[in-house]
Amino acid sequence: MVFQESPDGGWGWVIVLSSFFTQFLCYGSPLAVGVLYVEWLDLFGEGKGKTAWVGSLASGVGLLASPICSTCVSAFGARPVTIFSSFMVAGGLMMSSFAPNIYFLFCSYGIIVGLGCGLLYTATITITCQYFDKRRGFALGLISTGSSIGLFIYAALQKELIELYGLDGCLLITGALSLNILPCGSLMRPLPVVQKPDPEKVPDQYLLYPRKEKPSHEEHVTIPEKAQSEGKGENQGPLSNHQANGLPVHSQLLLAASREADSYPKKVAEQTYLCKQLAKQKWGLYLKYWEDTLSLFQNKVFSALFIAIFLFDVGSFPPSLLMEDVARSSNITEGDGVIPLISIIGIMTAVGKLALGALADVDWINALYLYVLTLILMAGALVLIPFAQSYSTLAILSGVLGFLAGNWSIFPYVTTQTVGIEKLTHAYGILMFFAGLGNSLGPPVVGWFYDWTACYDLAFYFSGLCVLFGGLLLLVAVLPCWPGTNPTIGPNPYSSTAASRV
């Protein structure tokens, strides 16, 4: 399937606007789940580790199921997937308002909403990449800020809705708001297909039956009918009605049937050979995929990078989920601050994406070293959280953590610089799987530390050490003292096919 050339504008800006609001509406509640987390702790009385699974699943399932999401968008298109996924997100949120226990939330909020968000993310990225080529990076940057702004607004919105209508009413209203994804999806008009492969131009050696063996006017004619038609056509010649080419009509029928019977085994053999060749080709592609995967892990920088991204998500995601409970555990009341801490994380994440992305474009800045710096600084901010005893201190740390979490905007640069553009798609998919795994495990682990020690101090020390270890491991791997390691300092080979993550 060949699409029309990317217009780099025109209706593409409508696609950008609809994709922005799609990510805003679908990721607003899951990323601001820290507000709901506090209410679920009081409602169900479960441990912090078990309750944290709800928010971690909502963020991690979409990344873990990214191959399935990509397959669905490729098979059905961005518009149908967006419309269908809007019902998944809205339905999951509304079902969560009737949750009798925490296990019901694992399915309704964690899996259904999380999978719906993953499908919507893939659909918005795919349709935007189809409409933009030269401005693709700019367009992807615009739509990726929708999730961060959604986090900023939904954190305050959900807190206000809980005060006015309770937790159940809040989930019902946010679910109803998610239905606005439907008109956004309806605007995602696919690019027209300008040409298709012409089967008539396929070489004869790739056809199951040669063209001369299946003339169109004889496809549904039986053997006796063909012989009779041949006999009738020859009545106009000098031969009699009972003879053609010196043979009676009856003999002609037997001869035609014999020829068809002889050609049937040949066609069966051709089909069998073709099936064997296709199976061999698929098996070869499967083996090549795993060979390429193993070759990626032979690159020590890539091996360090996948460990770093896993540890980064284990340590950096819990603050966005648990910061409200950290403030409550430190006896910081809601009246001490106007802006929720999660909202601060959200708006600063958007600022960090733009600022770090701009820094990565500077010629003399190496994106790998910049990424390592953000990891080390984030580790320091995480370790300082237990020492914060006021809203202002927590607000500053939340802003710093949010800004540094914007390093997702430079992660495609880092991946490209590590493995090259040719292997970017394969490597990026592997790294996103480990990122989703870290997202799913991080908050429950931090919650279990609290259940064990009755405070968040050890939990955030652990988070800080995870991120610090990942950063130092990556730094050691990229040092130029190693043979064959020479990080390029200069323009970053950013591939326009790599999308900025939420």
Residue 21 is predicted with a pLDDT of 95
**pLDDT tens per residue, range 47-83:** 888 898 998 898 888 888 877 887 788 788 889 999 9
Mean per-residue pLDDT for 119-146?
Answer: 81
CA distance 87 to 175: 9
DSSP 375-412: HHHHHHHHHHGGG--SHHHHHHHHHHHHHHHGGGGGHH
Residue 249 is predicted with a pLDDT of 56
Residue 174 is predicted with a pLDDT of 95
> Quick one: three-class SS letters along 446-496?
HHHHHHHHCCCHHHHHHHHHHHHHHHHHHHHHHCCCCCCCCCCCCCCCCCC
User: Of 24-38, 268-282, 358-372, which has the strongest mean pLDDT?
Assistant: 24-38
- Per-residue CA distances from 371 to 33, 92, 320, 378, 447 (Å): 27, 35, 20, 11, 27
Amino acid at 402: G
Residues whose CB falls within 8 Å of the CB of residue 197, separated by 6 or more in sequence, listed in order: none
Residue 197 has pLDDT above 70, yes or no: no
Amino acid at 302: F
Mean per-residue pLDDT for 366-384?
Answer: 91
Asked whether 479 and 372 are in contact (CB, 8 A), the reply is no
Amino acid at 499: A
| DSSP 8-state symbol, 338 | S
Considering only residues 241 and 430, tell me which one the structure prediction assigns the higher pLDDT.
430
The whole-chain average pLDDT of the chain stands at 78
Amino acid at 9: G
Residue 211 is predicted with a pLDDT of 47
Asked whether 477 and 414 are in contact (CB, 8 A), the reply is no
Asked whether 117 and 62 are in contact (CB, 8 A), the reply is yes
Mean per-residue pLDDT for 150-159?
Answer: 90
CA distance 85 to 92: 10
Q: Residues of the chain with pLDDT > 70: what percent?
A: 76
Looking at the structure, give the CATH architecture of the domain made up of residues 1-194: Up-down Bundle (1.20)
From first CA to last CA, the distance across the chain in angstroms is: 29
In 45-135, where does DSSP find H-type helix?
48-64, 66-76, 78-96, 102-105, 114-131
Question: Which of 412, 415, 398 lies closest to 460 in space, CA to CA?
Answer: 398
Residue 291 is predicted with a pLDDT of 76
Residue 440 is predicted with a pLDDT of 85
List the CATH code of the domain at 299-484: 1.20.1250.20
**pLDDT tens per residue, range 440-498:** 888 888 888 888 888 888 888 999 999 999 999 999 988 876 555 554 434 444 443 34
Residue 296 has pLDDT above 70, yes or no: yes
CA distance 145 to 351: 9
Point out which residues pair with 247 in neighbouring strands: 244
Q: Residues of the chain with pLDDT > 90: what percent?
A: 26
The H or E element spanning position 198 is: none
Residue 98 is predicted with a pLDDT of 93
Question: Is residue 241 classed exposed, middle or buried when 0-12, 13-18 and 19+ CB atoms within 10 A define those classes?
Answer: exposed
**pLDDT tens per residue, range 13-25:** 899 999 999 999 9
Considering only residues 446 and 242, tell me which one the structure prediction assigns the higher pLDDT.
446
> Can you give the residue ranges of every domain in the chain?
1-194, 269-295, 299-484
